[in-house]
Amino acid sequence: MSMLKTSESTAGATNGKAMRELTMAQAVREALAEEMRRDARVFIMGEDVAEAGTPFKVLLGLVDEFGTDRVIDTPISEPGFAAIGVGAAMTGMRPVIDIMFGDFLTLTMDQMVNQAAKARYMSGGKFMVPIVFRTTLGATRRSAAQHSQSLHVWPSHVPGLKVVLPSTPYDAKGLLKTAIRDDNPVVYFEDKMNFTTKGMVPDEEYTIPFGVADIKRAGADITLVATSSMVYVALGAADKLKEIGISAEVVDPRTTFPLDKQTLVDSARKTSRAIVIDEGYERYGVTAELAAVIADGAFYYLDAPVKRMGAMDVPIPFSPALEDLTAPTADAVFQMAKTLCGRA
Amino acid sequence: MSMLKTSESTAGATNGKAMRELTMAQAVREALAEEMRRDARVFIMGEDVAEAGTPFKVLLGLVDEFGTDRVIDTPISEPGFAAIGVGAAMTGMRPVIDIMFGDFLTLTMDQMVNQAAKARYMSGGKFMVPIVFRTTLGATRRSAAQHSQSLHVWPSHVPGLKVVLPSTPYDAKGLLKTAIRDDNPVVYFEDKMNFTTKGMVPDEEYTIPFGVADIKRAGADITLVATSSMVYVALGAADKLKEIGISAEVVDPRTTFPLDKQTLVDSARKTSRAIVIDEGYERYGVTAELAAVIADGAFYYLDAPVKRMGAMDVPIPFSPALEDLTAPTADAVFQMAKTLCGRA
Amino acid sequence: MAANMKAKQVSHTQTDAGGATVDPEEWLHMYRQMYRIRSFEEEVNDLYTKALMPGLAHLYIGEEAVAVGVCESLKREDYITSTHRGHGHCLAKGASPDRMFAELLGRAPGYCKGKGGSMHIADQEGGNLGANAIVGAGSGIATGAAFSARMRKSGQVAVTFFGEGALGQGLLYEVMNMASLWKLPVVYVCENNLYNEYTHYSQTTAGELSARPAAFGIPVEVVDGQNVRAVYETARRFIERARNGEGPGFVICNTYRYHGHHVGDINRAYYRSKEEETLWKTERDPLNLLSQWLTEQHLADAAIFEQIEKEAREEMRSAVEFAIKAPFPDASEVTQHVYA
Amino acid sequence: MAANMKAKQVSHTQTDAGGATVDPEEWLHMYRQMYRIRSFEEEVNDLYTKALMPGLAHLYIGEEAVAVGVCESLKREDYITSTHRGHGHCLAKGASPDRMFAELLGRAPGYCKGKGGSMHIADQEGGNLGANAIVGAGSGIATGAAFSARMRKSGQVAVTFFGEGALGQGLLYEVMNMASLWKLPVVYVCENNLYNEYTHYSQTTAGELSARPAAFGIPVEVVDGQNVRAVYETARRFIERARNGEGPGFVICNTYRYHGHHVGDINRAYYRSKEEETLWKTERDPLNLLSQWLTEQHLADAAIFEQIEKEAREEMRSAVEFAIKAPFPDASEVTQHVYA
Ligand SMILES: Cc1ncc(C[n+]2csc(CCOP(=O)(O)OP(=O)(O)O)c2C)c(N)n1
Ligand SMILES: Cc1ncc(C[n+]2csc(CCOP(=O)(O)OP(=O)(O)O)c2C)c(N)n1
Ligand SMILES: [Mg+2]
Ligand SMILES: [Mg+2]
């Protein structure tokens, strides 16, 4: 899993540049701080974002630099402050709206979907809604059914929204900066289990374009398309597969919309086998889209059906004995890949 | 399109039975009235459901028979009355919650997803939540971006929910009765363009099980899987295809969850070609799941990639000149099928 | 314009009920604005009846004094958000009827290129952030615009119009709370026309309406929404207050829609009586009330009103003409403006 | 039980502040209930500190008088809905600690078979419709339960507990409106412990708290949430009223959580002072206040309290023991109960 720390995959971009090791949380914070310094229109709004720096402490320190005018604690009113964000974005500001847990998207869908996503189109291009909704996904934190969901397929479905799922500190920083500069509403999901995950991040400023998948590990025999923390699961599986002589390519789409279909399809055409792995529920989830895109685009090249591995289709149970069964694991991916490659 | 009126596909069940022609609206109303007579726990709650009988007039007359205690007008508070429905369902009632437009699901997702869908699991099986959310989908009514969406993929994604998409009066009635008797939360979508669509409905009582796809038209050369009003689009395409000697099978899953994967896959294995058609946005929509299921299950039988036809990935525009471009049409399906069958 | 000049002739400065100094020409201007809205809406109804308009529309006839009384107190750069019943707000904030009709007919020169339609009409340059087809949603956007104005120190004020039905939406309370906490320059204008679609508001609204904003520390006033002078005077005070950094305000305007909930709502007997409708139309008409008062005060005469009305009708008729002749958007438009 | 008997010995019927006649044994019972909650929560903290508990938990220590004062006025068949800080409500409504600890540890005999955990603990037979990890969501479910009770003519009442943070959620206003319109038998109990997580409520709550329910026509009272007698007396009246078909009520209980927002919230200086914490613990402790009063009234003595406390601690210790020894659910459980 070396590239997680050395960003091998992005070595081209950062070759010879000075780098430091940062956690995901630090990378996110750095992106926010840089963009807030750069652009006075950027502000952060949400519950306990100021002095507390969020329950995950990701924003710690930002209020010291930018003050409570730009790092704003709100009441527990997700629909309300999301709406204020939309109104502010329509009138010249660039809000970053903090939705503490991705499970609370249930409360903000109207603001995201009926308001933010549509204002531009409905007005015939008159309004811009440059807003970022920062939120979380990911289970196995023993937070139970209402604090563990990965609901990113919902905004991925909605024209007008862009959806970002960074897996490494490098990606987290570069993609968040792009999200803030984007003139459209962007929903940015951090896996809450990865805030302490480390990786190399350049000293120099950089951004990462949306819609460009990243090959986290090159391989020849099978394609593992994985999102967010599932990238680590896929890399773990790739390590094991290597031991039995199977070379797996790990592809991280990084944004579910825009989706870099070409890179996914090209990889599958090359390897002729693919598994897609995502922590959302499997049914009608992100894996369905990724699998359908590959099955279509690589139809004449595939030696086996595209396989999907999402979260088990159950509300996330609290008990560790059960919760750990619900998310894809490196072992499970390894087994599936082995079978797909015809190695019983 | 004869089976739309004669319910050919369900002839087995209704053979020799007395039938009448009803509209979708009448079929829905009849199902509600029968279930309310049968079970005193059933009640209807929503905006303008009583004397007004909803803006679509679907419920007209129910309040006369059942009174305002069981057909209850609410304030314009979708989250609030959905929540009241959930609480009532958990404590012995069987609410039918009327969400006037499917676009307003944005406001009720917390009640549907974090509350109704999870109460049973989170309580280790202690609570039941027998609630039906009746709502709409479908565009081309000139209602613009916030009153035209088909958001049924969202609940389809969520473990704990069942999702029903009737296409004919026969299905509408039988499935709604099943939904009301189901001990789980069910989201039931009516296409608002189909309320006046007619079809034969038995005089006798009947229900239709969930998870059983219906072959609306048998065929040999290509499978058209279609949901809700897209069934008519598929049937229209099948008519045209017949003219050029292509025999299309039209399969209506009727429920996206539970999904009758077997019937879909069997049909595609038989015909070796498939197109899936649904009026939700294409990206990360229902077509992705249906296509992925078929591509996987019929992998070794398919002669061509499974093709998807959803709504265009744009907020629904108001102008008829544009709106009509956004939904799949019989012509478009016909063209796609022709190409897929190798007939330029 | 001709009418304006006549008004000037009889003009001498008046002090209105609230003590504000208002030029009589300004009252005539409001009469004109109200009449333009009425005339616009009558054309809309006509277009619907003749099956020339796609979809439905919610007419503002009867409620003109609210939009006009409020918007006359706003600057062009101030913001409004509007509702499904939004033509009146849009006109009162300064939009031109030709592009509005074009929008309602789904034509290319429409304010939203025909993509929004009646329920999403917006006029960015005029500060109209858009009608909204989600009841109550405009209150959130306006509160956000006020937040933005405050951050940008622009001095702008945001007004949000909504029906009393929006009091059912929790969002309104969430944003009122924040507006009050942060003293945002936003004014909430509740148009109480008695009905949420087909249900009387007394069946949907517990307690005293005015207690609701008050509970969040927001000053509130109830005004006769048929009296444009009263609306203007109250709105003006609240808007000034907001602009001066003294925080949000809430105005409840008691009003009535003469027509159905939308153009297709013809048989209304099951939810309201003909007598009620007649009473409002004859006794409480905002145009009549203003013209009577101006006449009593010898500030205008019948000829002036007739002139204004004639001009407005002509304006609207030629605007309809423009819209009907305008082209539909090109098919390529369908995929444009999804993203910036 | 022994303590109960002693209480009986000193008992003579008392008239409390509100005029209700309360048997002193009942006060001792409430003391016991409060102490059981405290003791339960101390064990939870201990389990967390020893890394024996998966995830986090939000302790109710300091707020015991609210749950106990309210639940003592409820019948077993009455409903409650609870919050992320829900252990106290669950115990006060009659759940047994062994199955509660089992739930908190994710074990098979837990109330929810280990699937719910601390934030979703429920006790169907005891009328606890569940803790809820979505702030404010319990208010909707309780209002629905009250609606159901009214339709079924069951005579049940529903109580919903929530923190003052839930006043930020629009849902609460939507359901209060309907509860008031329809006179539903529901009592809203707001536990104002001053903090929404790490933010003082004055930063998040505009206007007067009590004006909010009042705006919806719901009677409201503010009580000292550390005085179980006051809570009991007020809750009892509201619950009676609700049961008699007179509609909803709203009680604001001023209280304090002694520990962090959750067990992991240790360094709290950045949002509240040690002095404040100490003041509440020493001057406003609900157990002390009750024992002092009972002692002053010569209704109990130190020995009785000690006995009660000892029994409670033993009960909790053996309950923890039970839970620690209990098995985890079988892997097959993971796919069960998704559907009925
Ligand atoms: C959230 C939401 N729920 C329901 C509707 C359907 N609807 C459109 S207008 C309306 C009534 C609105 O009443 P009110 O707010 O008083 O405005 P009025 O029509 O009287 O101007 C309803 C229920 C909607 N558009 N949005
Ligand atoms: C809708 C929602 N938003 C945010 C959270 C995160 N959260 C959990 S507890 C809490 C604070 C709750 O404060 P309060 O309601 O006063 O209850 P207390 O913790 O003080 O008992 C927050 C913000 C949540 N669980 N649900
Ligand atoms: Mg109204
Ligand atoms: Mg609190």
Q: What is the pLDDT of residue D21?
A: 66
Domain ranges for chain A, please list them: 2-202, 214-340
Confidence of residue C3 (pLDDT cuts 50, 70, 90): very low
The answer to whether B181 contacts chain D (CB < 8 Å) is no
Q: CA C40, CA C54: separation in Å to the nearest integer?
A: 16
Q: How far is D293 from chain A (nearest CA, A)?
A: 37
Q: What is the pLDDT of residue D20?
A: 53
Q: Residue window 49-108, chain B: list those with CB within 8 Å of chain C.
A: 51-52, 55, 73-77, 79-80, 103-104, 106-107
Beta bridge partners of B281: B311
* A340 phi and psi angles, rounded to 5 deg: -65, -30
State the sign of the Cα–Cα–Cα–Cα dihedral A182, A184, A185, A187. Answer: negative
Sequence-ordered alpha helix ranges (H) in D160-227: 170-181, 211-215
Q: What is the pLDDT of residue D3?
A: 39
Domain ranges for chain D, please list them: 23-318
pLDDT tens track for C197-227: 999 999 999 999 999 999 999 999 999 999 9
Which tokens go with B216? 């609306």
Mean pLDDT for chain A overall:
95
CB B129 within 8 A of CB B113: no
Which sequence positions of A are flagged as catalytic? 78, 147
* A115 phi and psi angles, rounded to 5 deg: -105, -75
Whether residue B292 and residue A287 make contact (CB cut-off 8 A), yes or no, is yes
Mean pLDDT for chain D overall:
94
Confidence of residue B173 (pLDDT cuts 50, 70, 90): very high
Q: CA C300, CA C284: separation in Å to the nearest integer?
A: 20
CB D179 within 8 A of CB D148: no
B108-121 average pLDDT score: 98
**Chain B residues touching residue A154 (CB < 8 angstroms):** 154, 157
List the single residue in B259, B295, B304 with the smallest CB-CB distance to A292.
B295
Which tokens go with D323? 């839970």
C-alpha torsion C172→C178→C181→C183, nearest 10: -80
Confidence of residue A14 (pLDDT cuts 50, 70, 90): low
Confidence of residue C15 (pLDDT cuts 50, 70, 90): very low
Given a cut of 70, whether residue D14 has pLDDT beyond it is: no
Q: CA A159, CA B313: separation in Å to the nearest integer?
A: 5
Hey, which chains touch A, using 3+ CB pairs under 8 Å?
A: B, C, D
Q: CA B327, CA B230: separation in Å to the nearest integer?
A: 9
B282-302 average pLDDT score: 98
Centre of ligand 4 from the C-alpha of residue D166, in Å: 8
Lowest-confidence region among A2-6, C256-260, D6-10, D214-218: D6-10
CB D184 within 8 A of CB D143: yes
Given a cut of 80, whether residue D18 has pLDDT beyond it is: no
Closest-lying ligand 1 atom to the alpha carbon of residue A110: 1
3-state secondary structure chain B: CCHHHHCHHHHHHHCCCCEEEEEHHHHHHHHHHHHHHHCCCEEEEECCCCCCCCCCCCCCCHHHHHCCCCEEECCCCHHHHHHHHHHHHHCCCEEEEECCCHHHHHHHHHHHHHHHHHHHHHCCCCCCCCCEEEEEECCCCCCCCCCCCCCCHHHHCCCCCEEECCCCHHHHHHHHHHHHHCCCCEEEEEECCCCCCEEEEECCCCCCCCCCCEEEECCCCEEEEECCCHHHHHHHHHHHHHHCCCCEEEEECCEEECCCHHHHHHHHHHHCCEEEEEEEECCCCHHHHHHHHHHHHCHHHCCCCCEEEEECCCCCCCCHHHHHHHCCCHHHHHHHHHHHCCCC
Closest-lying ligand 1 atom to the alpha carbon of residue C137: 1
Q: CA D42, CA D50: separation in Å to the nearest integer?
A: 12
Q: CA B314, CA B316: separation in Å to the nearest integer?
A: 6
Q: What is the pLDDT of residue C316?
A: 98
Confidence of residue C21 (pLDDT cuts 50, 70, 90): low
Domain topology for B2-202: Rossmann fold (3.40.50)
Confidence of residue A16 (pLDDT cuts 50, 70, 90): confident
Q: What is the pLDDT of residue B344?
A: 76
Sequence-ordered alpha helix ranges (H) in A15-77: 24-38, 62-66
Given a cut of 80, whether residue C1 has pLDDT beyond it is: no
Q: CA A171, CA A178: separation in Å to the nearest integer?
A: 10
- Ligand 1 binding pocket, CB closer than 6 Å: B 47, 76, 78, 100, 104, 107; C 58, 84-85, 133-135, 162-166, 191, 193, 195-197, 261
Q: CA C129, CA A259: separation in Å to the nearest integer?
A: 31
Q: Residues near C282 by Cβ (< 8 Å), separated by ≥ 6?
A: none
Q: What is the pLDDT of residue D10?
A: 34
* A206 phi and psi angles, rounded to 5 deg: -155, 160
Catalytic status, residue B205: no
pLDDT tens track for A181-190: 999 999 999 9
Whether residue B124 and residue D148 make contact (CB cut-off 8 A), yes or no, is no
List the single residue in B47, B48, B318 with the smallest CB-CB distance to C115.
B318
Hey, which chains touch C, using 3+ CB pairs under 8 Å?
A: A, B, D
Domain topology for C23-318: Rossmann fold (3.40.50)
pLDDT tens track for B182-196: 999 999 999 999 999
Q: CA C190, CA C205: separation in Å to the nearest integer?
A: 13
Confidence of residue D22 (pLDDT cuts 50, 70, 90): confident
D194-203 average pLDDT score: 98
The answer to whether A46 contacts chain D (CB < 8 Å) is no
Q: What is the pLDDT of residue B260?
A: 98
Comparing C-alpha atoms, which of C108, C153, C161 is closest to residue C336?
C108
Which tokens go with A269? 């055409």
Ligand nearest to the CA of B135: 1
Given a cut of 90, whether residue C8 has pLDDT beyond it is: no
CB C176 within 8 A of CB C188: yes
Comparing C-alpha atoms, which of B310, B309, B306, B256 is closest to residue B281?
B310
Contact residues of C toward B, CB < 8 A: 54-56, 106-107, 110, 112-120, 132-136, 165-170, 196-199, 203-205, 270-271, 328-329, 331, 333-335, 338
CB B155 within 8 A of CB B161: yes
pLDDT tens track for C172-197: 999 999 999 999 999 999 999 999 99
CB B52 within 8 A of CB C195: no
Comparing C-alpha atoms, which of A46, A90, A86, A85 is closest to residue A68?
A46
Percentage of chain B exceeding pLDDT 90: 95
Centre of ligand 3 from the C-alpha of residue C70, in Å: 18
Q: What is the pLDDT of residue C19?
A: 46
What 3-state DSSP class applies to A98?
Answer: strand
Confidence of residue D1 (pLDDT cuts 50, 70, 90): very low
pLDDT tens track for D238-270: 999 999 999 999 999 999 999 999 999 999 999
B172-201 average pLDDT score: 98
Residue type, A106: T
List the single residue in B157, B283, B304 with the smallest CB-CB distance to A285.
B157
Residue A168 to residues A148, A190, A279, Cα–Cα distance (Å)? 20, 10, 16
Burial class (CB in 10 A: 0-12, 13-18, 19+), C264: exposed
pLDDT tens track for B215-249: 999 999 999 999 999 999 999 999 999 999 999 99
A84 lines ligand 2 (CB under 6 A): no
Whether residue C134 and residue A115 make contact (CB cut-off 8 A), yes or no, is yes
What 3-state DSSP class applies to A255?
Answer: strand
Q: What is the pLDDT of residue D235?
A: 98
Lowest-confidence region among B178-192, C92-106, D21-35: D21-35
C-alpha torsion B191→B192→B196→B197, nearest 10: -20
Annotated catalytic residue within B30, B35, B47, B78:
B78
Q: How far is B159 from chain D (nearest CA, A)?
A: 7
Architecture of domain B214-340: 3-Layer(aba) Sandwich (3.40)
Q: What is the pLDDT of residue C22?
A: 78
A2-202 and A214-340 share one fold: yes
Whether residue C170 and residue D168 make contact (CB cut-off 8 A), yes or no, is no
B42-68 average pLDDT score: 97
Q: CA A155, CA C317: separation in Å to the nearest integer?
A: 44
Q: What is the pLDDT of residue A11?
A: 42
A-C contacts (CB, under 8 Å): 142
- Strand-strand pairing, B255-257 and B162-164: antiparallel
* B249 phi and psi angles, rounded to 5 deg: -100, 130
Given a cut of 50, whether residue C10 has pLDDT beyond it is: no
Q: What is the pLDDT of residue C13?
A: 41
| Global ipTM | 0.96
Given a cut of 90, whether residue D138 has pLDDT beyond it is: yes
D234 lines ligand 2 (CB under 6 A): no
